Structures are given as C-alpha cells and as structure tokens.
A and B are shown apart, each in its own frame.
Chain A
Amino acid sequence: MAVNSFKFMPRTLAESMKVWPYVDTSGEEIPWTAPGKPIQESKVALVSSGGLYRKDDRPFDLDRERREPLWGDPSFREIPRGISQQDIRAAHLHYENSHALEDYNCMLPLAALEDILAEGRIGGISEYHLTFMGYQPRLGTFVRESAPGMAERLVEMDVDLVLLSSG
C-alpha cells in the first residue's frame, strides 16, 4: 500500500489500530453487489462517519463518551440535500471539528455531488444523506441496529448507489 493509514495519527493511536480486535471476517467471502443500473442513471446518497448533524437535531452523545471512554454513540442522523453551512453541527471527539464547521463539504461533499449531477454523470441525489459518529469500539448496537436502520432508510429513499466516507 502506498497510502499510509497511520500518517496522521499520534503514535499511541497508530499502535492500537495495528493490534485492534477487528471483527474477524477472514473466513468469509467478501460481500459483493454489482451496480443495479448504469451510474449515470443512479440515485446517489452519501453516508459519513464524521459525526455531522443538523443544528435542530439531537447531537451525538459526547458527554457519555467522556464518562465512559470505551462507549461511542451508535445512532445515526439524516442530513437533507442542500443543507446550508449554518445548519450543520459536528459532534466527534476524534478529529478537529472546526474544518467541517467552516465547510462541511470536506467531510460530506454535497456540493460536489450537485456538480456531478449537473454534469449528467449520475441520475439523481437522495433527499437525505446519513451520518454517524465513527468512534465505535464496541460495535454490537451499531451492527445490529444502526447499520440495518440506515440500509432501510436508503432503500425507502430508492437510492441506487451509496458512497461511504470515513471521518
């Protein structure tokens, strides 16, 4: 790999990531779904782990994480298409939030998605995009409830293609 996964991490975090107890998928086949229709005809949604939320929505619960450092809020939020910068907030203790508060597109690039639609490269944009807070050491609730909940919302919105973005 030419891309260095650990370049921007403090040493303690990088070392922990190298020995992290990842869910063991080594004995499983990698899942695969072929695109259902041409990309130019596909309705696209973004899903980001960056902890963004609407200012009138419930923030991700950082106080509980401060009290219980191995807990991360497993819930997810919806961000409407075309949301303005002043209506976006960020709640994530593992990256500096100020850049996203200056321009949320550096975490959730909705403006670029609109450009690409205008160029005719995709067929449509979902009315909502989904966000969650990506610090999830214990993944149980996220895997059993949030991920299926997000998938259900994306299906309800007739989304054909989802671009997932890390924080």
Chain B
Amino acid sequence: MPFITEKIGVPRAVAVEFPFGMIWGHPGDREMQRAIMLHMLDAVGTIEKPGTIIELPYTWPEEDFRKRDWFPKEPTPWMSSQDAINEMLDFIQHGDPLE
C-alpha cells in the first residue's frame, strides 16, 4: 500500500498491486515470488533518496480480480456491527494511534 508507505515515511519500498493474503503472488507461483524479491534486493542496492517507492509493473489478472477471493469469510470484527463501526469512526476522528 504505497499510500500508507508514503504517508509514514518508509525509507525505501517496493509496491505491487496484489491483494491481501497473496501479496507475493498466487499460491505456488515461485517465479513471481522470486521476481518480487529480486526487485526488493535491487531496490536496496539502488535507492539513494530516503522515501523512494519503486512501483512494480505486475497486475492481478482480471479473471482473478473477479473472484474476490482475498476477502475473509468471517466478517472483520470492527465492521461486524454498527456499534463496532461507530467505535472505529470515533477512533479515526479522535484516537491516538500510539495509545
């Protein structure tokens, strides 16, 4: 998520547009895992400016995007009731992240 990476000032990063739970690619896709890792190692050697984010060109296949199979089957607790959502909204507006 380069949006957050940029916001919090990560020294060096590589960004890839893959879903949660398969951030290194599909299960069994060792070649993709290897390719992403080589990009990361390359970034360590080449990035000279703090805060640089290198975006990788890989995309999630459209037919797999339609599966939406990265969403957890169990509802996320903070989204599971209106009370929990309200508690989260209150935290977002007034909370201290370092609490």
Contacts and interface: CB of A to CB of B under 8 A. Distances in A.
Are A and B physically bound partners? yes
Interface of A: 1-8, 10, 12-13, 16-23, 25-26, 28-33, 35, 39, 50, 65-66, 69-70, 93-97, 99-100, 102-103, 105-107, 109, 111-113, 115-116, 121-122, 137-140, 143, 161, 163, 165-167
Nearest to B94: A21
A109 B18 CA distance: 15
B97 A138 contact: yes
B46 to A, nearest CB: 10
Interface in B13-55: 15-30, 33-34, 36-38, 40-41, 44-45, 50-51, 53, 55
Contact of A102 (B11, B27, B34, B92): B27
Contacts of B9: 25-26, 28, 30-31
B61 to A, nearest CB: 13
A96 B70 contact: yes
Main SS class of interface, A = loop
B50 A32 contact: yes
A70 B1 contact: no
B35 to A, nearest CB: 9
Counting chain A CB atoms within 10 Å of each CB, the highest count among B33, B36, B53 belongs to: B33
Interface string B51-84: 1010110001000000001111110111110001
Counting chain B CB atoms within 10 Å of each CB, the highest count among A4, A12, A28, A106 belongs to: A106
B91 to A, nearest CB: 6
Contact of B96 (A3, A21, A99): A21
Contact of A103 (B16, B28, B70, B95): B28
B33 A94 contact: no
A16 B38 contact: no
B57 to A, nearest CB: 8
A129 to B, nearest CB: 13
A32 B23 contact: no
B97 A139 contact: yes
